[in-house]
Amino acid sequence: MTDAPAPTGAPLRLFNSLTRALEIFTPVHPGEARVYSCGPTVYNYPHIGNMRAYVFADVLGRTLSSKGYKLTHVINITDVGHLTDDADAGEDKLEKAAAEKAQSIWDIARHYTEAYWADIKALNIREPAHWSIATDYVPQMIAFAKAIADKHCYELDSGLYFDTSTVADYGRLARAGTEEGESRIDPVDGKRHAADFAIWRKTPPGEKRQMEWDSPWGKGAPGWHLECSVMSEALLGFPFDIHTGGIDHREIHHPNEIAQNQAHSCSADSGARLWMHNNFLVERSGKMSKSSGDFLRLQLLIDKGYHPLAYRLMCLQAHYRSELEFSWEGLGAALTRLKRMVMAAERLKNETPGDAAHPKLAPCREKFDAAISDDLGTPIALTALEEALAMKKVDAGAKRTLVAEMDAVLGLALFETARADLRLRPRAATITEAEIEAILLRRKQARADKDFAASDALRDELAAQGVEVMDGDPLGWDWRLEI
Ligand code: AMP
Ligand code: ZN
């Protein structure tokens, strides 16, 4: 058997969308955790809702690491195809973006992949072991499709289709071929069942696509669902431990991956033991849809002056399975909360690390572990972190170590962020921090001299440049820039 060390803390219970129940995490390979997360389709910038999916996967990965499992995390980059929604026919999102911008499809994919990676970094999301790029795996996709074609597929003019009636229990994950799910699938002439899907999409006759490959079914491109089945098997092996994605994938994309996995492994096994889904970030005015043109990107939050980790904290304040509504007020509140934590952590920064197992800290540590082990209960885990930060008359070194231990799971970078980094600072502002501080110093002197007229004039001078002076602010912000 194995000599893998026993995991630390409480047993980790995770919600499995397949069984709709909480299950204790039991790794396929003792001591290891292999996780695959559906990544972005890089025809546009990710919106902050997409980034919620990766914050969730990151917390999952950090939790598994903190419990002692050797984590192998894969996130794919869909740089090929992907039609509008879950449809099988119609325009490719990537080809469309390339046509609109008159650039090569490869440049488009590269540009948006880099933009996505910048957001990953800004949100302190750990790099996975592999970024699997779909176009690197086309030969394996063709081999996979060939292996299942005879028993499970049929060919139409538009491509090779998977017959969903050939596998056991199709749609178990979605809980039926739901009407809601099926209404999102475009009808394609000749399909045997509404839920059948393309695993190879032929280039229409007379057309030349920028991305197309030769295959036994003619020139074309792999279906989107095929990409994830192939890359997850290639990098993690079937069965692996956990497959993640947003809740929308529970309806079509993941049931289709499961069907392919079952076909390829000639079994009823779904390919992953646990299928986990984060709920959506919603915004009332519809700014979360990439097709709306003016949608919410992380860069927009940064341009308005918000530190990106305030958005990370906003995500953690809700349980990943709950819908979360975005608002600027909510983001502002998260920023303030983060600032409080960073201020408390600043006092511990230079302490020599001690023993986090200090008896006085034990209840707090246990509360944190119980919360995070209960299906990643970040809202309660955050309160445990705040309690640890606020604890008085306790060995500072031990406290520092405990805070670092908790932050290793939550990823708020408390010891790497300074309070000045968190100041609301819109990009459009022209006045520099040094200029503001210099005027404030003159104002302080004027007040000390009881020259209130001069002091008021300096305050007005700042106000004219968008700086609001906040005398005696309990959080010590001192001033705020609003443009
Ligand atoms: P896409 O690039 O559209 O394939 O989406 C990337 C990831 O973001 C997928 O896991 C989606 O399920 C997820 N996702 C899409 N929209 C949202 C949203 N509003 N909130 C949370 N996750 C989302
Ligand atoms: Zn996927």
86-139 pLDDT, tens digit per residue, is 555 566 777 777 777 777 888 889 999 999 999 999 999 999 999 999 999 999
What is the CB < 6 Å shell around ligand 1?
38, 40-41, 49-50, 52-53, 245-246, 248-249, 278, 280-281, 288
**Residue nearest atom 11 of ligand 1, based on CA coordinates:** 246
- Distance between Cα 246 and ligand 1 center (Å): 5
- Give 371-375's long-range contacts (Cβ < 8 A, gap of 24+): 372/63, 372/66, 372/409, 373/9, 373/10, 373/11, 373/12, 373/13, 373/63, 374/10, 374/13, 375/13, 375/14, 375/15, 375/22, 375/319, 375/321
> Residue 351: what pLDDT?
92
- Distance between Cα 454 and ligand 1 center (Å): 54
Residue 239 carries which DSSP code?
S
* Under-50 pLDDT residues of the chain: 1, 84, 177-183
- Counting from 1 in the atom list of ligand 1, the atom nearest the Cα of 244 is 10
Three-class DSSP category at 18? coil
> Residue 84: what pLDDT?
46
What ligand has the least distance to the C-alpha of 38? 2
> Residue 177: what pLDDT?
47
Q: Which two tokens stand for residue 80?
A: 């090929």
> Residue 161: what pLDDT?
96
> Residue 43: what pLDDT?
86
Tell me the HSE value of 69 on the side-chain side, using a 13 A CA sphere: 23
What's the pLDDT tens digit per position in 135-184? 999 999 999 999 999 999 999 999 999 999 999 889 888 875 444 444 45
Ligand 1, pocket-test mutation among 50, 54, 278, 288, most atoms within 8 A of CB: 50
> Residue 179: what pLDDT?
46
- Distance between Cα 31 and ligand 2 center (Å): 25
Whole-model pTM? 0.92
- Distance between Cα 151 and ligand 2 center (Å): 23
- Distance between Cα 44 and ligand 1 center (Å): 13
> Residue 178: what pLDDT?
47
Q: Which two tokens stand for residue 138?
A: 């086309």
Following CA atoms 275, 281, 284, 289 in sequence, which dihedral angle do they give, to the nearest 10 degrees? -80
- Where do runs of H (alpha helix) occur along 347-432? 362-373, 378-390, 396-410
